[in-house]
Amino acid sequence: MPQDAFTLRRNVRELEKLLVGGKINKVIQPTKDEVLLYIYTGKSLLKLIICTNASFCRICLTEEEKDAPSVAPNFCMLLRKHLLGAQITAVAQTGFERIVAITLHCVSDFTQTDRVLYAEIMGKYSNIVLTEQGVILGALKTASLETNAVRVLFPGARYALPAPQDKADPTDRAALTAAVAAVLSSADPAAALADRVAGIAYPTAAQIVADYPLNTGMPFSDFVYDYLFAGDDAPCVLCRDGVPVEFGAKMLAGATPVTSLQEAQETVYGYKSNKKAFEEKKRRLSAAAAGLKKKQEKKLAQILEKLQECEDAEACRLKGELITANIYRLERGMSACKLENYYEEGAPLLTIALDKTLSPAQNAQKYYKRYAKLKRTVEALTPRLKAERAELDYTESVLSSVAQAEEMQDLAEIEEELIALHLLREPQGQSGKRRKPAETPFRVFEKDGFIIRAGRNNVQNDRLVRASAPDDIWLHTQKYHSAHVVIAAEGRKVPETVLEFAARICAYYSDGRGGGKLPVDYCQRKFVKKPSGGKAGFVHYTDYKTVLVEPFAAPPSAARAAAHGE
- Whether 289 maps to a domain, the answer reads yes
Q: List the domain range (segments joined by +) for residue 477.
A: 443-563
Where does 431-538 show beta strands of DSSP type E? 443-447, 450-454, 473-477, 485-487, 518-524, 528-529
Asked if residue 146 is part of any domain, the answer here is no
Domain count for the chain: 4
Both 236 and 308 in one domain: the answer is no
Task: Give pLDDT tens digits along the chain (566 positions).
Answer: 578 999 999 999 999 999 999 999 999 999 999 999 999 999 899 999 999 998 889 999 999 888 888 899 999 999 999 999 999 999 999 999 999 999 999 998 788 999 999 999 999 899 999 999 999 999 999 886 665 567 888 899 999 998 888 899 999 999 999 999 988 889 999 999 999 999 999 999 999 999 898 877 889 999 999 999 987 888 999 999 889 999 989 888 889 999 999 999 999 998 888 888 899 989 988 988 898 899 999 999 999 999 988 988 999 999 999 999 999 999 999 999 999 998 888 999 999 999 999 999 999 999 999 999 999 999 999 999 988 998 898 888 888 888 888 888 788 888 887 887 777 776 654 544 455 555 678 889 999 999 999 998 898 899 999 999 999 999 999 989 999 999 999 999 999 999 999 999 999 999 888 878 999 999 999 999 998 888 888 999 999 999 999 998 877 764 344 334 44
Domain end, chosen from 211, 233, 263, is at 263
Listing DSSP states for 67-90 in one string gives PPPSS--HHHHHHHHHHTTPEEEE
55 backbone φψ class: left, alpha, beta (φ>0; ψ -120 to 50): alpha
Please tell me whether residues 178 and 103 are part of one structural domain. Answer: no
- 291 and 410 housed in the same domain: yes
- Please indicate, yes or no, whether residues 362 and 389 belong to a single structural domain of this protein: yes
Instruction: Judge whether 493 lies within some domain.
Output: yes
Clarify whether residues 424 and 310 are in a common domain: yes
Residue 269 lies in a domain: no
Helix 261-309 and helix 360-404: axis angle, to 10°?
A: 170
φ and ψ of 245, to 5 deg: -115, -20
With respect to residue 106, please indicate whether it lies within any of the assigned structural domains. yes
Question: Residue 543 domain-assigned?
Answer: yes
Within a domain: 10: yes
Report the CATH number that the domain containing residue 23 is assigned in CATH.
2.30.310.10
Q: 366 with 290, same domain?
A: yes
Residues 432 and 448 placed together within one structural domain of the fold? no
Do 404 and 320 reside in the same domain of the chain?
yes
Q: What percentage of the chain's residues is helix, strand, coil (to nearest 5)?
A: 40, 20, 40
Are residues 422 and 488 both part of a single domain?
no
Residues in the chain: 566
Examine the domain organization and report whether 433 and 288 are in the same domain.
Answer: yes
- Assess if residue 277 is contained within a domain: no
The pairs formed by 120-124 with CB atoms below 8 angstroms and a separation of 24 or more are 120/52, 120/162, 121/3, 121/8, 121/57, 121/58, 121/59, 122/57, 122/98, 122/162, 123/3, 123/54, 123/57, 124/54
Select from 115, 139, 163 the last residue of a domain.
139
> Is the domain of 398 the same as that of 523?
no
Last residue of a domain, one of 382, 405, 437: 437
Q: Is 320 helix (H, G, I), strand (E, B) or coil?
A: helix
352 with 452, same domain: the answer is no
Strands (E), 262-313: none
